[in-house]
Structure 1
């Protein structure tokens, strides 16, 4: 599994983990939604399942469930602030398109 974090994304995740002492990791994945098909999920994980894949990056353990891995493998995660807006930004080599508003994305038929 190859997922990378920019320093800004890593710091944001460390901040979230520091606020929840029950969290074991940050869970990254996808869910079916939107007009294009999939959207990203980023949540705190209280448990790590046996079939989860994980990577550790300077104190952040990032876990991905087996179903989501083909959709997100190779993704670079950044965190950006612009005015009052703050969000994770994903650079995903598996993405083949996205909806006009940028809330959902598509992947090759061989993955999805």
Structure 2
């Protein structure tokens, strides 16, 4: 399994983790949502659940559940600022389509 975190995303995740030192890591996965089928989840993982995998990427503990893993394998996570907006951006080779707003994706 390969997930890549850009330096900008890594810095942002480290800031979140520094504010919650008891967190197990940053949760990255997907959930069914949106007009295209799946939406990304990025949040602090307070603990590890059954089926969670803890992966260290450049020193950032990333928690990915087994159901999300095949859908996010190969994804590059970036963090971008545009004007007053800032957000994580995902480059997922498994996505075969995205909705117009980029909030959800489909897989083939």
Unpaired runs of at least 5, structure 2: none
More strand per residue: 2
Q: Does 1:105 align with 2:99?
A: no
TM-score (norm 2): 0.95
Deviation at 1:92, TM superposition (A): 0.3
Number of aligned pairs?
108
Root mean square deviation of aligned Cα: 1.0
1:33 aligns with 2:33: yes
What is the TM-score normalised by the length of structure 1? Answer: 0.92
Displacement of 1:54: 2.8
SS at match of 1:101: coil
In structure 1, stretches of 5+ residues that fail to align are: none
Residue number in structure 1 paired with 2:11: 11
> Is 1:79 matched up with 2:105?
no
- Indicate the residue corresponding to 1:44 in structure 2: 44
Moved over 4 A (4+): none
